[in-house]
Chains A and B, each alone.
Chain A
Amino acid sequence: MKGKPKLRVTLLTGRTIEQGVGKEQGKSSKEYLESVSVCYIDPEDLKKLGIKEKTNVQVSTKFGSVIIRAVKSVRGPHEGMVFIPYGPWANVVVDPDTDSIGMPSLKGIPADVELASDRQIADLAELLYAQFGKK
């Protein structure tokens, strides 16, 4: 099989207005779950990966990896930087290290992004089950 292009990026997590509106609809609402299972990628980086918007990608860091939907970022240009809104999907890949002050490192984490169009995004129950073994 031909090797898929892999891109080394800096991962940021944070808020989006869609996540803010979604969370107030309820944490199990479709709006919330759809707003936090996406990864905003710069158009130039999408080109480098050879993918179109709304394709599934795998984001991996040394703390874990997650399948998530790639969305073209309109907040660019921010080549080499990807953005995932706070939520259960982002948690899989963020850095838990608190540098001894209580605060995990949730922004500026080295990560790899690669195409994963053949893999499905887990729904919340599947994601929680895969991580914690509880339904």
Chain B
Amino acid sequence: MPVIKAVTCPVCGCLCDDIELTIQKGRIVKVKNGCAMSESKFLGYPNHRLLKPLVRKNGNLVEVSFSEAVKIAVDILTGSDYLLLYGWSSTSCEAIRVGLELAEEMGGVIDNTTTVCHGPSELSVQEVGIPTCTLGQVRHRADLVIYWGSNPWSAHPRHIERYTSFSEGRFEKSEWGAYLSKSKSLTAKKKVESVLRRVVPREETAIPLPSAKEPFPALSKEGRKLIVVDVRHTRSAEIADYFIQAEPNKDYELLQAFRALIRDEEIEVDQVAGVPVERLEEVADVMVNCNFGVLFFGLGLTMSSGKLRNVDAALSLTRDLNMRTKFVIMPMRGHFNVTGADIVFTWQTGYPYAVDFSMGYPRYNPGETSAIDVLLRGESDAALVVASDPVANFPRKAAEQLVKNPLIVIDPHMNATAQMADVVFPSAFAGIEACGTAYRMDRVPLPLKRIVAPPKGILSDEGILKRILSAVRKAKASTQRKVA
């Protein structure tokens, strides 16, 4: 059976490019090196597939030919005054480029999923700047890794193994062995405690909570250190050398406290965000004394109170740390090509997301031209959604407006948005059935491979968008001829 090596995984922003797939009779039958999500995608992608274009007739979605679906879609597009084009993070850069061309042609507003994930981070980066690097640098050099408001174990399962604590770098060694022995001793300790609980009454065996005065063996250990800051004891927190549990919506205070501490300033309170200041002082010492630190931040910062200001504080903390040592910072981008969407948007229009073409030139003002705000104000009168599921991911009030107006969806799967659509185009999976380019979270472009052929008659997102764009241009030209 043929085995295809060095496949780029089209799931999350890690874009692991060491996947090996075994192909049998035109289907993927085995996945090597992938995480649970990767395996689920490569093996499960043919399920719940859309195979024919659908159009809503008398309230129900019915199968139609491709050309009929294009015709109805073009009627919707040309009949709209302010079209919203949304999605883009789970397709190739090549498709995104055509999408931007269509947005300009329609004078619509185009936004990608950055708007509901790291949008605030983009705003902050534009204000503060970002000291960053590639993941290869992190792998080989970082001796302090911090995940803040991010749970890579669940959202980027191989991030720790490939790029940080459990990766074998040239100058920094993997902590995998140390973690294994730590977890074995923890399991043994739990067993002893459970036996003790059964033998001795509960009150007497109650384990005292660690007091702030106890030293941290984990933070003074040799080798790579892993710190997790989160509001919940996530799976990533379990493998960390040290876990800081902050109160929800208090990240800003905590980050600013660290900024004060690394400048050797006194903090005149006992605790910040529910964490004793003594603990923070020890962590601040570790930050200052590392050789190469990296802070990865997730949606814990961008979605909770403070939003972009939280990211401002994180970026400023990193900037401040560079006065003392080498420190870098990187957002943990979710979808496999959300970074690519920002990059293509930027080199085509000058802005990373929320770009409005209604004035005939690109305009960018998140809060006004961003998808959620356009929808909440009820301004868009039709929408085109590509490779995304906003009905399942937007707050209800925003989704209501999306569903109320004519809706065109391009997606390989039947999802909540496709169920609510008026026209649905089935597409090929980018990175499985269609090739292209995607950008990893550290802005390194990687090729997406075509592993197997798509089902008969199914085009890539790029192919479908090109057909729609050319049909729209023809329709507009013929209207202009009639007017003339």
How many B residues touch A, CB cutoff 8 Å? 68
Q: Do A27 and B307 have beta carbons less than 8 Å apart?
A: no
Q: Is B299 an interface residue (CB 8 A)?
A: yes
Binary contact track A9-23/B, C-beta < 8 Å → 1, others 0: 010111111001110
Are B37 and A20 neighbours in the complex by a CB distance under 8 Å? Answer: yes
Min C-beta distance of B451 to chain A, whole Å:
15
The answer to whether A103 and B36 have CB atoms under 8 Å apart is: no
Distance, CA A73 to CA B389, complexed state (A): 27
| Interface contact B304-A17, CB-CB below 8 Å | no
**What residues of chain A lie closer than 8 Å to B232, measured between beta carbons?**
12, 73, 75-76, 78, 81, 83
Q: Mark B322-366, 1 if CB is under 8 A from A, else 0.
A: 000000000000100000000000000000001000000000001
Taking a contact as CB atoms under 8 Å apart, the answer to whether B41 and A24 are in contact is: yes
30 cross-chain CB contacts under 8 A: A14-B299, A14-B300, A15-B151, A17-B37, A20-B155, A20-B157, A25-B48, A28-B414, A75-B234, A76-B232, A77-B233, A87-B392, A91-B399, A96-B372, A96-B394, A101-B307, A102-B373, A103-B119, A103-B302, A103-B303, A103-B366, A104-B116, A104-B303, A106-B303, A107-B299, A108-B304, A125-B419, A128-B416, A131-B396, A134-B419
Query: Which A75-89 residues have C-beta < 8 A from chain B?
Result: 75-78, 81, 83, 86-88
Complex-state Cα separation, A73 to B354, whole angstroms: 37
Total A-B Cβ pairs within 8 A: 193
Whether B79 sits at the interface, judged by CB under 8 Å, is no
| Interface set, chain A 40-79, CB cutoff 8 A to B | 63-64, 73, 75-78
Indicate if the CB atoms of B393 and A21 lie closer than 8 Å.
no
With most chain B CB atoms within 10 A of its CB, the pick from A98, A101, A104, A108 is A101
> Nearest-CB distance from A63 to chain B (Å)?
7
Q: Could you tell me the distance between the alpha carbons of A10 and B389 in the complex, rounded to whole angstroms?
A: 26
Contact of B305 with A108 in the complex, beta carbons under 8 Å:
yes
Per-residue CB proximity of B224-256 to A under 8 Å, as 1/0?
000000011111000000000000110000000
Tell whether, in the assembled complex, residue A98 and residue B153 are in contact, meaning their CB atoms are under 8 Å apart: no
Known A101-B120, A135-B60: A78·B154 in contact at CB below 8 Å: no
Do residues A78 and B231 form an inter-chain contact, with CB atoms below 8 A? yes
- B37 in contact with A101 (CB, 8 Å): no
- Tell me whether A94 is interfacial, beta carbon within 8 Å: yes
Interface code A101-117, partner B: CB below 8 Å = 1, 0 otherwise?
11111111000000000
**Which chain B residue shows the least CB distance to A101?**
B367
Q: Which residues of chain B in 269-312 are interfacial with respect to chain A, using CB atoms and an 8 Å cutoff?
A: 299-300, 302-305, 307-308
Residue pair B248, A101 in contact (C-beta under 8 Å)? no
| Residues of B with C-beta under 8 A to A17 | 36-37, 153-154, 157, 235
- Residue in B closest to A25 when the chains form the complex, CB atoms: B44
Which B residues are in CB contact (< 8 Å) with A87?
392-393
Q: Would you call A88 and B416 a contact (CB within 8 A)?
A: yes
- Chain A residues whose CB sits within 8 angstroms of the CB of B208 once the complex forms: none
How far is it, in angstroms, between the C-alpha of A56 and the C-alpha of B49 when the chains are bound?
Answer: 31
**Cross-chain contact of A92 among B354, B396, B415 (Cβ < 8 A):** B396
Given A104-B398, A107-B303, 18 more contacts at CB 8 Å?
A10-B248, A15-B151, A24-B11, A26-B49, A63-B395, A76-B232, A76-B233, A88-B392, A88-B416, A91-B394, A101-B123, A101-B307, A102-B370, A106-B303, A125-B419, A132-B391, A132-B400, A135-B60
Residue on B nearest A83 in the bound complex, by CB: B232
Q: Is B479 an interface residue (CB 8 A)?
A: no
Cβ of B440 to closest chain A Cβ, rounded Å: 18
Task: Tell me which residues from 104 to 134 in chain B have a Cβ below 8 Å from any Cβ of chain A.
Answer: 115-116, 119-120, 123
Q: Contacts of A86 on B, CB cut-off 8 Å?
A: 392-393
Would you call A15 and B155 a contact (CB within 8 A)? yes
Rank and list the top 3 A-B pairs by shortest CB-CB distance, nearest first: A102-B370, A26-B48, A27-B415
**Interface check B40, CB cutoff 8 A:** yes
A12 to B393, CA, bound (A): 14
Give the distance in Å from the alpha carbon of A63 to the alpha carbon of B59 in the complex: 28
Question: Which chain B positions have C-beta within 8 A of A63?
Answer: 395-397
Does B452 lie at the interface of the complex (its beta carbon under 8 Å from any beta carbon of A)? Answer: no
Q: Which residues of B contact A125 (CB under 8 A)?
A: 419
CB contacts under 8 Å to A, within B427-448, are none
Point out which of B36, B376, B413 has the most chain A C-beta atoms below 10 A from its C-beta: B413
B371 at interface, CB cutoff 8 A: yes
User: Which A residues are CB-close (under 8 A) to B231?
Assistant: 12, 78, 81
- B65 within 8 Å of A (CB atoms): no
The CA of A46 and the CA of B368, in the complex, are separated in Å by: 41
Cβ of A29 within 8 Å of any chain B Cβ, yes or no, is: yes
**A27 with B41: in contact, given A96-B376, A102-B372 (CB under 8 Å)?**
no
Tell me the bound Cα distance from A103 to B308 in angstroms: 9
Nearest chain B residue, comparing its CB with the CB of A86: B393
Pick the residue among B59, B372, B404 that contacts A104 (CB under 8 A). B372
Select A100's contact among B11, B299, B354, B367, beta carbons within 8 Å.
B367
A106–B154 alpha-carbon span in the complex (Å): 18
B420 within 8 A of A: yes
Whether a CB of chain A sits under 8 angstroms from the CB of B47 is yes
Most chain A C-beta atoms within 10 Å of own C-beta, residue among B45, B300, B308, B399: B399
- B415: chain A residues at CB < 8 Å are 26-28
A99 interface residue (CB < 8 Å to B): yes
